[in-house]
Amino acid sequence: MSGYNLSHLKQLEAESIHIIREVAAEFEKPVMLYSVGKDSSVMLHLAHKAFAPSKIPFPLMHVDTQWKFQEMYKFRTLMAEKYGVELLVWINPEGKDISDPFKHGSDKHTQVMKTDGLKQALGHYGFDAAFGGARRDEEKSRAKERVYSFRNEFHQWDPKNQRPELWNLYNAKVNKGESIRVFPLSNWTELDIWLYLLREEIPIVPLYFAKERPVVECDGTLIMVDDDRMPLKEGETPMTKKVRFRTLGCYPLTGAVESEAETLEEIVQEMLLTTTSERQGRVIDHDAAASMEEKKKDGYF
Amino acid sequence: MTEQAYKIQEEDLIRDDITEYLRRHETKDLLRLLTCGSVDDGKSTLIGRLLYDSHMIYEDQLAAVTKDSKVHGTTGDDFDPALLTDGLKAEREQGITIDVAYRYFSTDKRKFIIADCPGHEQYTRNMATGASTCNLAVILIDARHGVITQTKRHSFICSLLGIKHVVVAVNKMDLIDWSEEVYEKIREDYNAFVARLGFSDIHFIPMSALKGDNVVDHSQNMAWYDGPTFLHHLEGVNISTDRNLIDMRFPVQYVLRPHLNFRGFSGTIASGFMRVGDEVMSLPSRRASRLKAIIGPDGEIAEAFAPMAVTVTLEDEIDVSRGNMLVPVKNLPHVGNEFEAMVVWMHETPAKAGRSYLIKQTTNMVPGVLADIRYKVDVNTMRKQAGGEAPAVKTVQRGENSSDFNERSDSTFNELNAATELQLNEIARVHITLHRPIAFDPYEKNRSTGAFIIVDRMTNITVGAGMIVDRVVPKPKSSAPVSKNIVKTASLVSDEDRRKLLNQKGATLWLTGLSGSGKSTIARQLERELTDMGHACYILDGDNIRHGLNRDLGFSMEDRSENIRRIGEVARLFNEAGIIVITAFISPYREDRKQARAIVNGGIVDDGETVQDVKIEKDSSASTISESSERFNGLNEGGARLNDSTNPRETRFVEIFVDTPIEICERRDPKGLYKKARAGEISQFTGITDPYEPPQKPEITLLSADLPVNQAVGLVIEKLRQEGIVG
């Protein structure tokens, strides 16, 4: 019997593929939310495997804030071509060309461009299921998140009113207007993601790898000068530092870390030897310990 | 915080040879466990400790927790590991955990997924949810309080959900001065009550989660404990044999049609394994074909096994769609629209008998009716309570332990609880009728095809979860035979007459053991010896029977069971005629042997029970669930009910376990079968790909590796003399 065992990574892969297929089979109009980050890369790759040799039977959607790194936009196009999948881009028309994290702050920018933008897009297309790449190990409030996370017609998440989830029997029943956020990577950890990227040779945005980049220091965080919208203080000139990004978001809200890691192995090595957690690089998590829970109730992923 | 030696090594490895480190971690396996404990047993503390001691907490998270400790914590300014795990704001403010939370950590041997289950009284629902995906349960006991009602409840739910491995964490040893005596008492108490639940592996560890003793590091305070630490034990538990690799079941999830020349059926293999060229049948249509190709996540493969997600193509164009199940032609599950199940109710709105729901099982979502609530099980006492109507398997006699049950069923509690309703967190055996047939197996045999959820048709909420017990049991109208014309005629010759005539008592010597263990050799020698002593005996040979009486039977689950039933019936007839029967079948499954024992020992005489009735009894004992609930009522293993027939017959079934290590059997390999099995020429072979379940209480165990055949035979005859079977 010993010959018939699957490694943890292959078990996670099988479980995710099962979830992705289940959604494709049971929902009328699913969509995969694509953030261009490494977890999205893994999720897209799994979707490809789930339906090969057919094409992925649902579109990708990127809720764009217009403030992502340039390299992310390039990578986005590249991936849609590589996997032959339809890519939808949604920019909240109310904030389009107006919202500016430098002027309006991270909270308002995120609320308008991401949270509101996402709700609009789901409503606009009438999607009844949306895949997201969130993992339960990312943040404490996510530990109780279901694989199928039910949202009412206002896209709200009620932590006390989630459906019990047993075995691999997911309940896809929704009424009109209601939807399910689906997290096929729920049981993956940060390390699993890296191991899988390595094993499967999945491409990720080059920003994850250390390279000399122009940065400025804002309140102790290194921010990369990605375009000329970056307001520089009087006499401030960007420094060139060898940095990489542990997570990717809007460039003004994403801190870089100084690093020498130029390969996946070196990134994992660095990650395991450092003692600060992944999300610290994201400005939005910091407010209060339970802030993520509040944002989720409101419809943020 | 002391450092475990291997952890330091891991850090060195990360620094010095990251490639090797990654290689090790890529190949590690996965253990899913759940933690159950009462509110103050220190469950969150234990998990926090594991995460902390195995370095899964980063400094900034720790800083946040230390900050929180001052606001919410119970440890003053000290670090409170529990705060690492109590996630949601509401529950932190209430100080209790209200929902299943999933935690992750890993060592270089294993990745662990913890389903952290709240232990509060009303949360049976959550525990069932957590247990449904787990291999192992950690039952926390506060050493100051010992085994309490909640301990029993948690253990029962774990057993109901099919968990095989249990770790009993006796926590807070620091508060009882690390007393070995107290620990031993708890061990005894737990063992005494848990014996009825059918766990295959129970392990006890004394610890202090708060102080860290025996969690990751060995305790300096309990030198008397020389077992593994908690983490070390979790790393070593063998779960690979828990899976069902025998019965291939492939529920079709999705049909792929990229172009006209390709029609693929995607799904997750629920159990068993498949190979290109295998003959398969689609259920419920019963159309057969062969597997043409198997496409795994990395491309085409020759064989695949549970729980892989694959796509298969078939040789023939048969109609297959989502909700159908591909199975081996020679090993079919049940197909039908009625079954009985144990159900956990999960919603405030009670279940009502007669109401219609949606049932999701494998990839089927089918409307169905909760036709009947047979009886409820009290999770605290693990005893039956009367249901809507008389329970299907009515206990006809009272074992000495069953008085509690009788008290219980008469209690006012049941009268208050309308028996046609099932409240939140209640567990009951129910009868479900679906609008169309599905393919299924009993949950005990198959956790994937025997499980289902119940969805409310109006609100769409998941309101219940169920585990199939067996095919539907027809409600016995009365205890009369199927046909009124069947009347048992009494013989003019009594058992005693036959005994005197033959100078022996009819008995069945049931030899069980691996292939090559020496069963047949011993059986033949035994037959020779007994005959030479002047006794009438006869070997019932499996192959011979399959050539004649059983030639219509294959090797499906039903057929295997029927095969054993017929052999049992034949043996019983021989025994009644006064003949000693010797059988030598591998008979790897406990349940099958139990069934044979029931038939041989009891018979179906005198009390007017029909053949049908015996089948019911037998079928229902085929699952742990009903078996467990039977046992809760104090019924003994092996069809105690049958023993209580008015016929005061003595035990005739003698189970003889020929206990030979597999290495030796394989070395002997008299028929060359192990070689073939190892070479993959035989796909299902006991000991290699299929499990052998050793008897728990055989009448005789023969360690045949060190025992010459004549001595083994001598031992058996000695026993037969003691039992008065031979003179």
Position B671 scores a pLDDT of: 82
Cβ of B308 within 8 Å of Cβ of A14? The answer is yes
Cβ of B60 within 8 Å of Cβ of A277? The answer is yes
Cα–Cα nearest to B325, from B299, B356, B352, B287? B287
Does residue B337 carry a pLDDT above 60? yes
Name chain B contacts of A144, Cβ cutoff 8 Å. 87-88, 99-102
Higher pLDDT, B372 or B56: B372
Q: Which single residue is written with the structure tokens 């591909």?
A: B326
B17: phi > 0 → left, psi -120 to 50 → alpha, else beta; which? beta
Cα–Cα nearest to A73, from A47, A34, A25? A34
User: Among A217-221, B154-158, B293-297, which stretch is predicted with the lowest mean pLDDT?
Assistant: A217-221
Cβ of B308 within 8 Å of Cβ of A4? The answer is no
B134 touches A at CB < 8 Å: no
CA angle B369, B375, B381 (to 5 degrees): 135
B59 touches A at CB < 8 Å: yes
Strand-strand pairing, B356-361 and B700-702: unpaired
Sign, Cα dihedral of A251, A253, A258, A262:
negative
Cβ of A191 within 8 Å of Cβ of B106? The answer is yes
Position B66 scores a pLDDT of: 53
Percent of chain B with pLDDT over 90: 43
B349 touches A at CB < 8 Å: no
Position A199 scores a pLDDT of: 93
Q: How far is B424 from chain A (nearest CA, A)?
A: 13
Cβ of B106 within 8 Å of Cβ of A175? The answer is no
Cβ of A164 within 8 Å of Cβ of B22? The answer is no
User: Among A48-57, A250-259, A272-281, B227-236, which stretch is predicted with the lowest mean pLDDT?
Assistant: A272-281
CB–CB of B291/B278 below 8 Å? yes
Contacts of B254 (CB under 8 A, 6+ apart): A21, A24, A25, A51, B265, B266, B267, B322
| Predicted confidence band of residue B129 (pLDDT cuts 50, 70, 90) | very high
Paired strand residues for B301? B294
Exposed/middle/buried for B118, CB within 10 Å: 0-12, 13-18, 19+? buried
B308 touches A at CB < 8 Å: yes
What does residue B324 show for φ and ψ, rounded to 5 degrees? Answer: -80, 165
Cα–Cα nearest to A270, from A198, A212, A210? A210
Sign, Cα dihedral of B637, B641, B644, B646:
negative
- Neighbour-count burial for B479-500, b at 16+ CB within 10 Å, e otherwise: eebeeeeeeeeeeeeebeebbe
CB–CB of A212/A37 below 8 Å? no
Does residue B501 carry a pLDDT above 80? yes
Cβ of A4 within 8 Å of Cβ of B30? The answer is no
Position B471 scores a pLDDT of: 61
Higher pLDDT, B470 or B255: B255
Question: Smallest Cβ distance to A169: which of B267, B311, B451?
Answer: B451
Question: Smallest Cβ distance to A17: which of B309, B453, B461?
Answer: B309
Name chain A contacts of B254, Cβ cutoff 8 Å. 21, 24-25, 51
Cβ of B103 within 8 Å of Cβ of A143? The answer is yes
Q: Which single residue is written with the structure tokens 């720790």?
A: B62
Distances (CA, A) of B670 to A54, B496, B521, B687: 50, 42, 11, 15
Question: Token digits for A112?
Answer: 């308008």
| Alpha carbon distance B319, B165 (integer Å) | 41
CA–centroid distance for B247 within its chain: 15
| Alpha carbon distance B168, B148 (integer Å) | 13
**In this structure, what DSSP letter does residue B489 have?**
P
Q: Which B residues, 392 through 451, put their C-beta within 8 Å of a C-beta on chain A?
A: 447-448, 451
Does residue B60 carry a pLDDT above 80? no
CA–centroid distance for B286 within its chain: 29
The mean pLDDT value for A151-167 works out to 84
Question: Smallest Cβ distance to B28: which of A7, A55, A175?
Answer: A7
CB–CB of A21/B38 below 8 Å? no
Exposed/middle/buried for B667, CB within 10 Å: 0-12, 13-18, 19+? exposed
Q: How far is A205 from chain B (nearest CA, A)?
A: 21
Cβ of A192 within 8 Å of Cβ of B111? The answer is yes
Name chain A contacts of B462, Cβ cutoff 8 Å. 163-166, 171
Higher pLDDT, B413 or A108: A108
Position A190 scores a pLDDT of: 87
Does residue B645 carry a pLDDT above 80? no
The mean pLDDT value for B65-73 works out to 51
Cβ of B99 within 8 Å of Cβ of A144? The answer is yes
Length of chain B: 727
Does residue B490 carry a pLDDT above 80? no
| Alpha carbon distance B399, B541 (integer Å) | 36
Cβ of A171 within 8 Å of Cβ of B460? The answer is yes
Residue in A closest to B308 by C-alpha: A14
Three-state SS annotation for B81-133: HHHHCCCCHHHHHHCCCCCCEEEEEECCCEEEEEEECCCCCCCHHHHHHHHCC
Cβ of B297 within 8 Å of Cβ of A7? The answer is no
B682 touches A at CB < 8 Å: no
Cβ of A173 within 8 Å of Cβ of B262? The answer is no
| Alpha carbon distance B20, B15 (integer Å) | 11
Residue in A closest to B238 by C-alpha: A2
Residue in A closest to B8 by C-alpha: A273
| Predicted confidence band of residue B179 (pLDDT cuts 50, 70, 90) | very high
CA–centroid distance for A227 within its chain: 22
Query: How many other CB atoms sit within 10 Å of the CB of residue A176?
Result: 7
Position A52 scores a pLDDT of: 92
Count CB pairs under 8 A between chains A and B. Answer: 201
Residue in A closest to B260 by C-alpha: A54
Q: Which helix (H) or strand (E) holds B10?
A: helix B5-16
* DSSP letter string, B217-237: BPPSS-TT--S--HHHHHHH-
User: Among B184-193, B248-257, B641-650, which stretch is predicted with the lowest mean pLDDT?
Assistant: B641-650
Question: Tens digit of pLDDT for each residue in A115-152?
Answer: 899 999 999 999 999 999 999 988 777 888 899 999 98
Question: Tens digit of pLDDT for each residue in A200-230?
Answer: 999 999 999 999 999 998 888 899 998 888 8
CB–CB of B51/B105 below 8 Å? yes
Three-state SS annotation for A209-258: CCEEEEEEEECCEEEECCCCCCCCCCCCCCEEEEEECCCCCEHHHECEEE
What ipTM describes this predicted complex?
0.90
The mean pLDDT value for B288-310 works out to 96
Cβ of A53 within 8 Å of Cβ of B111? The answer is no
Length of chain A: 301
Query: How many other CB atoms sit within 10 Å of the CB of residue B413?
Result: 12
In chain A, how many H helices and how many E strands? 8, 10
B363 touches A at CB < 8 Å: yes
B460 touches A at CB < 8 Å: yes
| Alpha carbon distance B536, B527 (integer Å) | 9
Longest dimension (CA), chain B: 88
Distances (CA, A) of B332 to A137, B8, B343, B616, B620: 40, 52, 25, 20, 19
Cβ of A173 within 8 Å of Cβ of B358? The answer is yes
Residue in A closest to B20 by C-alpha: A265
| Alpha carbon distance A251, A218 (integer Å) | 12
Question: Tens digit of pLDDT for each residue in A228-277?
Answer: 888 888 888 899 999 999 889 888 888 899 999 999 999 988 887 775 55
| Alpha carbon distance B709, B439 (integer Å) | 46
Amino acid in the structure at residue B278 = D
Position B229 scores a pLDDT of: 94
* DSSP letter string, B261-317: T--EEEEE--BSEEETT-EEEEETTTEEEEEEEEEETTEEESEEETT-EEEEEESS-
| Alpha carbon distance B84, A213 (integer Å) | 36
| Alpha carbon distance A61, A118 (integer Å) | 10
Q: Which B residues, 461 through 520, put their C-beta within 8 Å of a C-beta on chain A?
A: 461-462, 465
Position B187 scores a pLDDT of: 96
Name chain B contacts of A174, Cβ cutoff 8 Å. 460
Question: Token digits for B706?
Answer: 């060190």
Question: Smallest Cβ distance to A53: which of B30, B59, B258?
Answer: B258
Q: How far is B449 from chain A (nearest CA, A)?
A: 11
CB–CB of B87/B102 below 8 Å? no
Position A283 scores a pLDDT of: 47
- pTM of this structure: 0.72
B interface mutation test: which of A2, A8, A286 has the most B CBs within 10 A? A8
Residue in A closest to B271 by C-alpha: A4
Position B53 scores a pLDDT of: 67
Question: Token digits for B399?
Answer: 């074992």
